[in-house]
C-alpha cells in the first residue's frame, strides 16, 4: 500500500499530500451569443454572476423544449456557414478549381446531426478511430433517415509523423470515399475555429487511449452551449459522465493489447452512433422537436455546466489550498515570528533525532478469534530517541486485511501516552471489535507540530516492524 512517489516512499498512496483539482472553463468566454441571450432572458443575470451555482442551471428544467431546440438549430446553422467559408478560404490558398470552390459552398447540411472532433493530432488521441471500418462509417454518413456529418480540425506536432499520417488518411477518405459533403477538415486550427465548433456542434467526440487524457476542456466548453459529449471514460468525462447527460464509449477496462482495445472502442463508437445518438437526434414530435435529445441537453447543462467552470475551479483552489496557506502564514507572523522560529527549531530537532526513533514492540489483548463487540487494547513501546512526547503522534491504522496483508481503507487513530519505562515510552488505545472478517492493524510514529504540515514538509514516518 506504499506510495511510488519518491518524496513519500513510506506513506500509503492515499496519504500522499498531492490533491487534484479538476479543470474548468470560463463560461462567458466560450458561450455563443444565441445561448447567452437565451440564458439572459430565461435565467437572468445570475448565470453571469456565478456560473458555478447549481441553482442557476437548474432553471434549465423549466425552459420550454422548443425554445432551447430552436437555439441549438440556429447555432448549428451558424457553424455550417462558418465551416463553408473557412473551407473555401483554405481551398483558395491551394489554388483549387472553380468546381471545388463551388462544391465547398454546399458542404454539410444545417439540418443534419453534426459531430465535432478538434484537438492536437497526437496518436494517443486516436483521430483514426472513427475510420477503422470505412464501409460502416459510410453507412452512418449516408443513412437515408439518420445521416451524421463530422467536422475535424487540428494540427500535429511538426515532428509527430504518426499524427501527420492520421490527418493525411482523413483527407484521403474525404476525397476518395464520397464523403466531401459529410466530412470537413478545417485546417490551421485556432481559437476562432474552436469557438465556432464548440458553439455549433451537436456532439463533441473524444476518443483518446485511456488513461492518457489529461483533462479534456474542449468537451467542457460545449456543455453550456447545449452540446453533448461522446467520449472515452477518461479525463474530465470519467468524473462528469452519467447516463442521460451524454454517452460513454466502452467502459473503464484497459486492454494491454492496444490493437484490440482500439478495435473494441471503435465498435462501441459505431454502436452508439447507429443505435443511440442517431435515433435520439432524429426522433421528433409533431413540432419537429427531439424531446429525448433536449432532455439530454438539459441534464448535461444542469449537471455539468456549474461543476466544470473556472468559477468552481478557482473557488475550490481558494477554499482548499490558498486560504489555509494564507491563514497559516498569518499565524506564523504573529508575535515577531515566534511560532515560525519555534517550528524551525522543532524541524531541526526532529530531523536530527529521527534516525533513532523506532517502535520497539507492540502488544494487544485480542484472542486468536475475537467476537463482535469485544473490547481490546493495543499497546506500543516506542523509543523517541530524546524527542518529547508532544513532538510526535503514535498512531494505529486499522482496517480489513487483504490476502497480501495490506489494510484496505484503514482508519487512523491516535494512541495516548501511558508511561515511560527507561528509554521507551508506552502508548496505548482501547478499541472495540466492530467488524467481521479478517481484520488487522499496524502502528506507526509520525512527527507532530501545531503549525507544521508534517506530511507535506517532512515526510517522516516510522512503522512497526512486522515479521
For 360-380, the DSSP string reads EEEEE---SSPPTT-EEEEEE
Per-residue pLDDT, 1: 43
Residues 6+ apart with CB under 8 A from 159: none
Instruction: For 87-146, write each residue's pLDDT tens digit.
Output: 999 988 888 888 888 888 899 999 999 999 998 899 999 999 999 999 999 999 999 999
Which three three-digit cell numbers place residue 144? 437515408
C-alpha cell at 380: 506500543
Phi, psi of 206 (to 5 degrees): -145, 115
Q: What is the pLDDT of residue 110?
A: 97
User: pLDDT grade, residue 5 (50/70/90)?
Assistant: low
pLDDT tens for 269-282 read 999 999 999 999 99
Q: Which of 210-224, 250-264, 288-302 reaches the highest mean pLDDT?
A: 288-302
Whether the per-residue pLDDT at 316 is higher than 50: the answer is: yes
pLDDT tens by residue, 354-399: 999 999 999 988 777 777 778 889 999 999 999 999 999 999 998 8
Which residues, including other chains, have CB under 8 Å from residue 112's CB and lie 6 or more apart? 147, 148, 149, 182
Residues linked to residue 142 through DSSP beta bridges, in sequence order: none
Question: CA–CA distance from 310 to each of 21, 103, 317, 453, 457 (Å)?
Answer: 11, 41, 10, 28, 29
**pLDDT value at 466 more than 80:** no
Distance of CA 417 to the CA centre of its chain: 43
pLDDT reading at 46 higher than 50: yes
Sheet holding 358-364, edge to edge: 358-364, 375-383, 424-432, 416-421
Confidence (pTM): 0.86
pLDDT above 50 (res 3): no
pLDDT score of 249 more than 80: yes
Give the pLDDT confidence score for residue 408 in this predicted structure. Answer: 79
Q: What is the mean pLDDT of the chain?
A: 92
pLDDT at 10 over 50: yes
The pLDDT-based confidence of 2 (bands split at 50, 70, 90) is: very low
Helix (H, G, I), strand (E, B) or coil at 307: coil
Half-sphere exposure of residue 369: CA atoms within 13 angstroms, side-chain side: 1
Q: What span, in angstroms and rounded, lies between the C-alpha atoms of 27 and 189?
A: 21
Q: From the CA atom positions of the chain, what is the Rg in Å?
A: 30
Categorise residue 41: left if φ over 0, alpha if ψ from -120 to 50, beta otherwise: alpha
Secondary structure letter of residue 308 according to DSSP: T
Residue 308 pLDDT greater than 90, yes or no: yes
| Backbone dihedral angles phi then psi of residue 392, each to the nearest 5 degrees | -140, 165
CA 25 to chain centre: 13
State mean pLDDT over 232-241.
Answer: 96
Q: Is the pLDDT of residue 410 over 80?
A: yes
31 burial via Cβ count (<10 Å: 0-12, 13-18, 19+): buried
Q: For 450-464, what is each residue's pLDDT tens digit?
A: 888 877 788 899 999
Closest CA to 315 of 55, 50, 44: 50
For 17, other C-beta atoms within 10 Å of its C-beta total: 13
Which pLDDT does position 403 carry in this prediction?
64
Q: What are the pLDDT digits (tens) for 187-207?
A: 999 999 999 999 999 999 999
Cβ partners under 8 Å of residue 344, min gap 6 = none
Distance (Å, whole) CA 457 – CA 460? 9
Helix (H, G, I), strand (E, B) or coil at 294: helix
Neighbours of 6 (CB within 10 A): 7
Amino acid at each position: 500500500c506504499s506510495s511510488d512517489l519518491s518524496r513519500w516512499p513510506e506513506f500509503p498512496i492515499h496519504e500522499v499530500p498531492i490533491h487534484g483539482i479538476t479543470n474548468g472553463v470560463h463560461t462567458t468566454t466560450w458561450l455563443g451569443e444565441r445561448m447567452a441571450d437565451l440564458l439572459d432572458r430565461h435565467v437572468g443575470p445570475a448565470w453571469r454572476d456565478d456560473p458555478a451555482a447549481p441553482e442557476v442551471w437548474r432553471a434549465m428544467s423549466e425552459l420550454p423544449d422548443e425554445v432551447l431546440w430552436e437555439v441549438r438549430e440556429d447555432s448549428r446553422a451558424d457553424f455550417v456557414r462558418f465551416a463553408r467559408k473557412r473551407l473555401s478560404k483554405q481551398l483558395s490558398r491551394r489554388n483549387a478549381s472553380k468546381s471545388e470552390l463551388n462544391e465547398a459552398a454546399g458542404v454539410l447540411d444545417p439540418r443534419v446531426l453534426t459531430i465535432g472532433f478538434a484537438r492536437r493530432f497526437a496518436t494517443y488521441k486516436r483521430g483514426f478511430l472513427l475510420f477503422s471500418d470505412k464501409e460502416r462509417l459510410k453507412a452512418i454518413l449516408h443513412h437515408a433517415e439518420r445521416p451524421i456529418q463530422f467536422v475535424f480540425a487540428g494540427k500535429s506536432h511538426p515532428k509527430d509523423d504518426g499524427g501527420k499520417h492520421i490527418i493525411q488518411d482523413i483527407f484521403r477518405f474525404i476525397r476518395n470515399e464520397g464523403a466531401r459533403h459529410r466530412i470537413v477538415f478545417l485546417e490551421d486550427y485556432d481559437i476562432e475555429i474552436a469557438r465556432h465548433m464548440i458553439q455549433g456542434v451537436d456532439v463533441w467526440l473524444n476518443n483518446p487511449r485511456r488513461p492518457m487524457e489529461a483533462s479534456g476542456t474542449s468537451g467542457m466548453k460545449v456543455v453550456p452551449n447545449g452540446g453533448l459529449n461522446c467520449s472515452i471514460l477518461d479525463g474530465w468525462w470519467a468524473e462528469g459522465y452519467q447516463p442521460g447527460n451524454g454517452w460513454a464509449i466502452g467502459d473503464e477496462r484497459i486492454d494491454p493489447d492496444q490493437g484490440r482495445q482500439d478495435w473494441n472502442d471503435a465498435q462501441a463508437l459505431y454502436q452508439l452512433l447507429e443505435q443511440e445518438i442517431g435515433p435520439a437526434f432524429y426522433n421528433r414530435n409533431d413540432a419537429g422537436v427531439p424531446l429525448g435529445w433536449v432532455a439530454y441537453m438539459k441534464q448535461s447543462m444542469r449537471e455539468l455546466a456549474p461543476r466544470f467552470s473556472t468559477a468552481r475551479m478557482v473557488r475550490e483552489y481558494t477554499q482548499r489550498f490558498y486560504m489555509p496557506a494564507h491563514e497559516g502564514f498569518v499565524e506564523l507572523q504573529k508575535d515577531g515570528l515566534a511560532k515560525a522560529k519555534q517550528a524551525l527549531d522543532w524541524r531541526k530537532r526532529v530531523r536530527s533525532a529521527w534516525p533513532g526513533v523506532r517502535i520497539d514492540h507492540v502488544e494487544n489483548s485480542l484472542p486468536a478469534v475475537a467476537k463482535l463487540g469485544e473490547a481490546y487494547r493495543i499497546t506500543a513501546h516506542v523509543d523517541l530517541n530524546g524527542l518529547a512526547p508532544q513532538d510526535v503522534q503514535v498512531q494505529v491504522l486499522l482496517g480489513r486485511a487483504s490476502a497480501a496483508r495490506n489494510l484496505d481503507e484503514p482508519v487512523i487513530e491516535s494512541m495516548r501516552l501511558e508511561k515511560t519505562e527507561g528509554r521507551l515510552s508506552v502508548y496505548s488505545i482501547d478499541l472495540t471489535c466492530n467488524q467481521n472478517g479478517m481484520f488487522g492493524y499496524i502502528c506507526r510514529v509520525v512527527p507532530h507540530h501545531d503549525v507544521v504540515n508534517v506530511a507535506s514538509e517532512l515526510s517522516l514516518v516510522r512503522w512497526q516492524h512486522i515479521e
